[in-house]
Amino acid sequence: MFSSTTLRSYLHLHFLVLIWGFTAIVGLLVTISPISLVLYRTLFAAIGLGAVIFFKQKSFKTNATDLRRMLAVGFILSAHWMLFFASARVSTASVCLAGMATTSLWTSIIEPLVNKKSIRPLEVALGILAFAGLYVVFRFEFDHALGLLLALASALLAAMFTVANSRLVQRIDAYTITFYEMIGATVFSLIALVIAETFGWTGNAPYLPETGDWVWILFLAWICTVYASTMATQLMKQFSAYLINLTINLEPVYGIALAFLFFGEKERMTTAFYWGTTLILLAVLLYPMLSGSIFDRGNRKVSDARKGT
């Protein structure tokens, strides 16, 4: 059995994934380049988080080693978002979200290596099932190959920063972690934008937002990042990085449905695409049934945390 507190946390996680399912759509609604979008998103997120920490009277203090680690994770996060928005821009929101569902496969490999634990066959098997679904998508949606490859690279980076955060959050407040990561992401994005503009890699996409872009930029910064990312980092105290990323695999379901509402026929894909996406989502649903450890692991972490207080 599992506690009502753990169940609420798990449902909260799904609500956060629903919010993230909208981010690929936002990337298509704005006029600026993906790099510029990440720069503004992270800049305003850092400002928002700084205000939250100040008014909640939380501490900005951290040691030099952890500061370097959080800034480095911010670099990874920035690159992840750039690739994510670029994937949606060169293909479709649906293709981008389907590629992102392989995050659990990368996590099943990276997390045990970082934590020096044995790789769990079940997690690898379900990750492979998700990858099989991706193969079906890739095979019949070759016109979107570039977008899918960018999404795969973005998923790899997502696995890396999630595993890193799952370690940091055990000793540092989630707001503090996200604040310094946003600073690191802003610096990295600014450098990337200067380089991209110098060499003309952004094409004709402007780097200054139009009036209508600001609503979506602030939505990304304050809802998807200040709120959603911070709360997801907080939930890592209860759930493993693998479970977090496996749940995030549901992002294509929410995202594809929302994409249909916003873009209609433009987001309609082949039947094979939906079969492949179904395989990916099957991996998500099978994990709690086969492992039976989602809520048990959450209860153990909550219990351990209470013992430490």
- The per-residue pLDDT for 141 is 61
Q: What is the pLDDT of residue 308?
A: 36
Distance set, CA 29 to CA 129, 195, 214, 220, 309 (Å) = 32, 24, 11, 12, 46
Separation CA 55–CA 62 (nearest Å): 18
Do the Cβ atoms of 21 and 224 come closer than 8 Å? no
Q: Which two tokens stand for residue 11?
A: 């449902």
The Cα–Cα gap between 222 and 168 comes to: 22
CA of residue 165 relative to chain centroid, distance: 12
Under the banding of pLDDT at 50, 70 and 90, the label for residue 48 is very high
Q: What pLDDT digit, counting tens, does each position of 73-97 carry?
A: 999 999 999 999 999 888 888 788 7
In sequence order, which residues have a C-beta less than 8 Å from that of residue 129 and are 6 or more positions away?
Answer: 279, 280, 282, 283, 286
| C-alpha–C-alpha distance, residues 232 and 97, integer Å | 18
DSSP secondary structure letter of residue 200: T
Residue-wise pLDDT tens digits, 143-199: 778 888 999 999 999 999 988 988 888 888 888 998 999 999 999 999 999 999 888
101 vs 51, residue with greater confidence: 51
Mean pLDDT of the chain: 81
Tens digits of residue pLDDT in 105-143? 788 788 888 877 777 787 778 778 877 877 776 666 667
Burial of 140 (C-beta count, 10 Å sphere; 0-12/13-18/19+)? middle
Question: Which pLDDT score, from 0 to 100, does residue 122 have?
Answer: 79
305 versus 172: the higher-pLDDT residue is: 172
* Residue 7 · residue 295 · CB < 8 Å: yes
Residue 81 confidence (pLDDT): 94
When computed from its CA atoms, the radius of gyration of the chain, rounded to whole angstroms, is 19
The per-residue pLDDT for range 246-303, each reduced to its tens digit, is: 677 677 777 777 777 777 666 566 677 778 778 877 876 676 667 654 444 444 443 3
First vs last C-alpha separation in the chain = 24
pLDDT tens-digit series, residues 5-46? 777 888 888 889 888 888 878 888 898 999 999 999 999 999
Can you give the pLDDT at residue 267? 57
Contact 209, 217 (CB under 8 A): yes
